Structure 1
Amino acid sequence: MKQSKLIEHLAVPRGRFPHAKVAGEFIYVSGTSSRLPDNSFVGVKVDEFGTTTLDIAAQTQAVIENIEEILRNAGSSLNDLVQLTVYLVNMNDFGAYNEVYGRFFDEEGPTRTTVAVHQLPHPHLLIEIQGVAYRPQP
């Protein structure tokens, strides 16, 4: 059994794909960012002169919280994650990202791969995460 999940109160995906796809006992979470439903971003400040400040820690926390909400809507939780792939625009952000990540997960958490990418779908994005969760059927 396969079921797509599009969560109304989260940011609408920037393409024709769901937030997650449930396939049997697995939940595949699409790449998730810190984008909010109003298309603004957590971790972004623009001053009156247009100078932009991006905060990897705030974005990392928002991404993980968005994934948590996606999983909750699929009847799951962060505890059910088995694998994450993290895309960082700048590996110099690894330390701050890793510190926030450690507030949610430890060595009992999901496997993880972190890679650097040239860019993400918006210039204000520093991080995107996709994942797979395992939710046994009763």
Structure 2
Amino acid sequence: MTDSKVLPHLATPRGRFPHYKQAGELVFISGTSSRLPDNTFVGVEVDHLGVTSLDIRAQTRAVIENIESIVNSMGAGLGDLVQITTYLVSMNDFGGYNEIYAQYFDETGPSRTTVAVHQLPHPHLLIEIQAVAKIPATPEIRKQS
């Protein structure tokens, strides 16, 4: 079974790619950010003078919840993730990212790699996460696992 989907309840991808592609029991989740369906970003505040403040904790939480929404759409959960790759614009945000990540996962969670990148597709983004999940291909198998 191979299936690709753009989910209508999430922000539309900023290119021609799906939110996820399923190949058998493996689901490859495209890089996911804190962007909302209305094209605003969680973890971004702009004051009356136009000064922008970015919050790695709020963005990390939003990214994980967006990924959770993707796996939930397939009848699965965060516990079905087997691998995560995180892209941070600055390793100075590693501590805040780790703090929120630990609220969702522990040492029994997915394998993880975190790398610093020069920039992400929008200047308000501090983080993007790509993931792989193992989800049984049929609902009957999911119930048995």
TM-score range, shorter chain: over 0.9
For 1:43-81, what per-residue CA distance to the aligned partner results, in whole angstroms no more than 9, with x for missing partners? Answer: 000011110000000000000000000011122210000
Q: Tell me, which stretches of 5 or more residues in structure 2 are unaligned?
A: none
Q: Tell me, which stretches of 5 or more residues in structure 1 are unaligned?
A: none
Q: In the alignment, which residue of structure 2 is the partner of 1:51? A: 51
Question: Partners in 2 of 1:75 and 1:16 — Cα distance?
Answer: 25
Q: In the alignment, which residue of structure 2 is the partner of 1:29? A: 29
Q: Are positions 1:120 and 2:120 aligned together?
A: yes
Most deviating of 69-78 and 115-124: 69-78
Q: How many residues align?
A: 138
Structure 1 residue runs of 4 or more that deviate by more than 6 Å after TM superposition: none
- Corresponding letter in the other structure for 1:59: Q
The answer to whether the Cα contact below 8 Å between 1:33 and 1:62 also exists between their aligned partners in 2 is yes
The TM-score, its normalising length taken from structure 2, stands at 0.93
The TM-score, its normalising length taken from structure 1, stands at 0.98
Question: Partners in 2 of 1:5 and 1:106 — Cα distance?
Answer: 29
For 1:79-128, what per-residue CA distance to the aligned partner results, in whole angstroms no more than 9, with x for missing partners? Answer: 00000000000000000100000000000000000000000000000000
